[in-house]
Amino acid sequence: MFFIFDVSVLSFLNRFVTGGSRGIGYGVCQSLAKEGYNIVIGDIRDEKETELAVQELSKMDCEVLYIQTDVSNLKARKKLLREIDEHFGCLQANSNEKVDLLLCI
């Protein structure tokens, strides 16, 4: 399962994709990178398992941030938001209700 969340920072658009290191989620990341978006991959897999995906996406002239996380866990979601905030400076939710859920929990 994967979700796409808007993480808009200043004039840059960044996308957060859960499960973005393989399968459909990785395909979504590739499409977003081709469109010029920076990518934040949140995945339960460890860094070694996602390394190839991050390397390949980075070749597409976009910034890629990988964060190992379990989005079903409240503490992990809070840590995820802190890490994204530290890396990009701010978070701004769009009207997607999944973003509102993620940001409000």
Closest CA to 54 of 24, 22, 84: 22
Residues whose CB is less than 8 angstroms from the CB of residue 93 and which lie 6 or more positions away in sequence, other chains included: 5, 6, 99, 100, 102, 103
Q: Which of the residue ranges 70-74, 78-82, 84-88, 98-102 would you say has the lowest mean pLDDT?
A: 98-102
Q: Read off the pTM.
A: 0.72
Domains of the chain: 4-104 (3.40.50.720)
Closest CA to 42 of 29, 55, 58: 29
Closest CA to 38 of 67, 74, 8: 8
Provide the pLDDT for residue 7.
52
Tell me the pLDDT tens digit for each residue of 5-26.
Answer: 555 443 457 788 888 888 988 9
Provide the pLDDT for residue 40.
87
| Position with higher pLDDT, 92 vs 90 | 90
